[in-house]
A and B are shown apart, each in its own frame.
Chain A
Amino acid sequence: MIQAILVFNNHGKPRLVRFYQHFPEEIQQQIVRETFHLVLKRDDNICNFLEGGSLIGGSDYKLIYRHYATLYFVFCVDSSESELGILDLIQVFVETLDKCFENVCELDLIFHMDKVHYILQEVVMGGMVLETNMNEIVAQIEAQNRLEKSEGGALG
């Protein structure tokens, strides 16, 4: 199961935080900070898996992360998930963002936070992988956009 999905930039500013297990707000912030420090001190090109920090889980949990330009995408998962599978899932999520936003960048995550959440919801639900087929995900998002447009139109 995926316990949390954290996206932050190179300075540790959170850009997307999604917990699938309930933590109080201040612990959530602590987890983001701790994870950032764990990931930050690692060079690129070393392994993408590391033992979880002290706040989430313990030895059964792993952080699986990818670093894209200015953003870190970190998934905190338990041992029931395949490490490489999650690594690919991050890629699917990012590629989908890229398709929906046409060359996604950090600002898209800030200004379209709701949309980013909706895209994520099509990929991961309640901590489990919902859909991995990019075309299917994009189709769902496009259907949402059409609905939104039609309602927007009605509103004038």
Chain B
Amino acid sequence: NKNSCVEAGIRGICVGRCKSKEAEIKRINKELANIRSKFKGDKALDGYSKKKYVCKLLFIFLLGHDIDFGHMEAVNLLSSNRYTEKQIGYLFISVLVNSNSELIRLINNAIKNDLASRNPTFMGLALHCIANVGSREMAEAFAGEVPKILVAGDTMDSVKQSAALCLLRLYRTSPDLVPMGDWTSRVVHLLNDQHLGVVTAATSLITTLAQKNPEEFKTSVSLAVSRLSRIVTSASTDLQDYTYYFVPAPWLSVKLLRLLQCYPPPEDPAVRGRLTECLETILNKAQEPPKSKKVQHSNAKNAVLFEAISLIIHHDSEPNLLVRACNQLGQFLQHRETNLRYLALESMCTLASSEFSHEAVKTHIDTVINALKTERDVSVRQRAVDLLYAMCDRSNAQQIVAEMLSYLETADYSIREEIVLKVAILAEKYAVDYAWYVDTILNLIRIAGDYVSEEVWYRVIQIVINRDDVQGYAAKTVFEALQAPACHENLVKVGGYILGEFGNLIAGDPRSSPLVQFNLLHSKFHLCSVPTRALLLSTYIKFVNLFPEVKPTIQDVLRGDSQLRNADVELQQRAVEYLRLSTVASTDILATVLEEMPPFPERESSILAKLKKKKGPSTVTDLEDTKRERSVDVNGGPEPAPASASSTPSPSADLLGLGAAPAAPTGPPPSSGGGLLVDVFSDSASAAAPLAPGSEDNFRAFPKHPRISAGGSEFVCKNNGVLFENQLLQIGLKSEFRQNLGRMFIFYGNKTSTQFLNFTPTPVPRCGLDSLTRTHLNLQTKPVDPTVDGGAQVQQVVNIECVSDFTEAPVLNIQFRYGGTFQNVSVQLPITLNKFFQPTEMSSQDFFQRWKQLSNPQQEVQNIFKAKHPMDTEITKAKIIGFGSALLEEVDPNPANFVGAGIIHTKTSQTGCLLRLEPNLQAQMYRLTLRTSKETVSQRLCELLSQQF
């Protein structure tokens, strides 16, 4: 028997016979040498021997040894007329050949012959080989041929099946090489094919093609629905061989349900009705008693059920089905099969973001918390964490955060960092009480300090600095937490920073007197890393300002050899400079330099960004995104408290040292009395700015720009007015914009009776970090007369071209001499992105269709904020029109809401923008949502418009 010969060959090298790795390698090398000599030998090998040796090579490769010969022999086998030889040749090539270009040509040649042979067996082998290798060269050679085979009338079913998957593979690797054409409509009709194997393969192909070309394959929806309906309603014996453990054609059903998830609910009511019927039938069947006790039966049945539920969630349009789906998943949450519990948790996660079922999902909170505590399998526990995160809202945040924290104590190391991020985000997002927020973060550090990333502790500091109602509590709490004999270094950082800023708030209590605070921090000092020690040194110098009575103690510490002569340059420099500062500076100067940190500008949480990065953008943002949408509709208005984006700025920009701080820092203006300070700090521009006890370079210690007048947000919605006025000078504006161009007239009025000399106003585009190499805005102007008489006015014209979307408004620098002194004024020119808005009118239907199309999470930006002005409908309307967008009446179902649409014109692109503003009179708040096709545009427009109400 020949087969047993192959067996014997492999048996020879089988690991079972080899006692050690060395013995195995020795044995294999001997075998390889033998095969090589056989291939190289004079005697031509017969087909059988070739087959035997190729088989052996495959086995040796499987064991992890490189095979560097035999390829040519395998290629030769392809052109054999004998099936078995051809087959082993193709096998060798699809397992072992990578894109070795010389060989690929020969292989392609053999494939070409086999495809043309009209022998279905040979064609099958060739198609398999293309699909399994799937290289670009193969796509180039066969992307034209395979579709023809697929739709030819005389192609056998098994070849059609292979051709469909082969084409799918080529499309995946090289979509550009697969031309759409006549064949596409004929492929869609394969959904009606008699042979279910062909339908299954075709459904896979169409699903992939439809994701990229939805229009082209739209007709597949009704065909898929009717096919599905025939399967679902058939008796289990109808489909004979495609019935698997009493479930009719489960794989095909799953594939069809996947295909339907590429499209919105069918518009044709008949198709839609039929689909709803199918989904109901599938849900009904889940309640029937099982037809078999075998696990295969329940697997197959539930595979279809879970896919049906995915489709229901995807459509998100039938409340009745959604609630049934939720109940079904609820049953599975307690199922004895771990797999089903896992899948139920996973599906529920997406269900939690549907407006119709969010509340229903929340009812399962106890079961999910229980899963977190009792599941033996980390995969399942992880899904439970995800679900708790997804179902969290203001009503259950405290409970969920508490449970996640207690789980964190025993959680697997692999998922700790993620849980830390999630807890930090939820605590911030749903904090009504900021004391609770501070407690939660300190607990995080206590329980899992090693997993608390910088973003998390930067954030807590930001929030404490920006909210004066929590500062005293924070100081007290960190002081208490620092009492623990062993506390995490991250706690020392947070504690150091907060006590440095707000230690005075608890200094009245003798138990936390200045000296006690200092001694407590200093007791941790020697155990900390260099960056933390640097931070603590900054805290000490802040103490010098806050508590003059501890100044001598601190000076002694700074003077010590371990500081002044520290081997680390940063520490040494801080010690030298702080010591000097504390010695030479007067109390007033100390108070200015070491003033409390100003509030941080408001931006999106960088923790969220980190989680997105960690989990991949889709998982997190989808959730956030859809959840926001849900609450819009459920509550019919903004959420009651301004806990999230509006009040809790992010550290990202400033803390990560992106240089050009976008908002003007609110520190005191440059002081001229800094002569002394120049000796201490070389950078005079920043000398008088408040000093933060931050440690790393990227920590905001000094504002990067001298102060610039804010240049009024009042110009966002209007084009004319007074931009700036002081005792000497008044600047007025008149401007007009059309598409991506604009013209601005600037009027400079001399309010005094004395001449201005050397009067030079220069408008300059300000650069964000990304624009260093690129201009977003072109400004052209001519110089004005350098003398401006007393009481006179001069005019300057600025031509503006918007090249691409931008954030930073340009700055107008004005220098002139008045009397004997040199005057310098900088104001922001109110040229904002919305100036290049062109309004667009559209119907309600169009608006919501486009709104849906822009559902990608990056395209939407939302802000919830407190009204700063009286909430007057007419004024709001005028502002939206002034902002530049069209105001669309009778579009939003809620007449109290405002929606607008328009196009931002820049030289390089046009960006369609949709906006929706929802006032909540009771809470005196607004929710503003911007959707555009460009993230930066959404972001900027949202910032601009939010300031207006």
Contacts and interface: CB of A to CB of B under 8 A. Distances in A.
Interface of A: 1, 13-18, 20, 22, 24-25, 29, 32, 42-43, 45-51, 58-60, 80, 82-85, 87-89, 91-92, 110-114, 117-118, 121, 125-136, 140, 143-144, 147-148, 151-152, 155
B131 A148 contact: no
B251 A132 contact: yes
Interface residues on chain B, size class: 35 or more
Interface in B685-742: none
A155 B2 CA distance: 11
Given A91-B299, A128-B169, A151-B84, 6 more contacts: A48-B339, A88-B251, A110-B59, A121-B128, A128-B131, A129-B251
Contacts of A140: 158
A147 B127 CA distance: 19
Given A88-B303, A132-B251, A117 B91 contact: yes
Interface string B841-853: 0000000000000
Contacts of B380: 46-47
A32 B61 CA distance: 13
B331 interface: no
B83 A113 contact: no
B88 A114 contact: yes
A18 B197 CA distance: 22
A127 B207 CA distance: 15
B7 interface: yes
Contact of B201 (A84, A113, A130): A130
B241 A60 contact: no
Contacts of B343: 49, 83-84
B84 A131 contact: no
A87 B95 contact: no
Interface stretch (B10-18, B312-320, B771-779, B867-875): B10-18
A59 B162 CA distance: 30
Nearest to A63: B379
Given A88-B244, A126-B169, A147-B84, A47 B342 contact: yes
B84 to A, nearest CB: 5
B48 to A, nearest CB: 7
B132 A125 contact: yes
A121 B83 CA distance: 16
Interface in B281-312: 296, 299-300, 302-303, 306-307
Interface of B: 2-3, 6-7, 10-11, 14-15, 46-48, 55, 58-59, 61-64, 66, 82-84, 87-88, 91, 95, 98-99, 121, 127-128, 130-132, 134-135, 158, 161-162, 165-166, 168-169, 172, 196-197, 200-201, 204, 207, 241-242, 244, 250-251, 254, 258, 296, 299-300, 302-303, 306-307, 338-339, 341-343, 376-377, 379-380, 382, 615-616, 619
A48 B380 CA distance: 10
A49 B342 contact: yes
Contact of A45 (B131, B296, B338): B338
Given A50-B379, A152-B2, A155-B47, A125 B165 contact: yes
6 closest cross-chain pairs (CB), A and B? A126-B131, A84-B303, A126-B169, A46-B377, A47-B338, A111-B7
A88 B299 contact: yes
| Overall SS of chain B's interface | helix
A135 B158 CA distance: 14
Given A43-B376, A47-B339, A126-B168, A113 B10 contact: yes
Contacts of B158: 140
Nearest to A155: B48
A33 B374 CA distance: 30
A18 B135 CA distance: 16
Contacts of A88: 244, 250-251, 296, 299-300, 303
Contacts of A155: 46-48
B62 A17 contact: yes
B242 A133 contact: yes
A92 to B, nearest CB: 8
Contacts of A117: 58, 91, 95
Nearest to A152: B2
Nearest to A131: B197
Contacts of A135: 241
Nearest to B167: A126
Contact of B379 (A43, A49, A111, A112): A49
B95 A133 contact: no
A14 B197 contact: no
Contacts of B48: 155
B212 to A, nearest CB: 13
Contact of A111 (B10, B82, B83, B296): B10
B292 to A, nearest CB: 13
B128 A125 contact: yes
A76 to B, nearest CB: 15
B161 A131 contact: yes
A126 B165 contact: yes
19 contacts: A22-B98, A46-B376, A47-B379, A83-B339, A83-B343, A84-B343, A87-B299, A91-B299, A110-B10, A121-B132, A126-B131, A126-B132, A128-B201, A130-B201, A132-B197, A132-B242, A133-B196, A136-B197, A136-B241
Contact of B197 (A32, A82, A111, A133): A133
A62 B47 CA distance: 41
Nearest to B376: A46
B58 A114 contact: yes
B303 A85 contact: yes
B82 A151 contact: yes
Contact of A126 (B121, B134, B377): B134
Nearest to B91: A117
A125 B162 contact: yes
B6 A111 contact: yes
A13 B306 contact: no
Contacts of A134: 241
A29 B64 CA distance: 6
Contacts of A45: 338
Nearest to B257: A82
Contacts of B88: 114
B197 A147 contact: no
A7 B242 CA distance: 26
Contacts of A14: 62-64
A13 B24 CA distance: 13
Contacts of B616: 58-60
Nearest to A132: B251
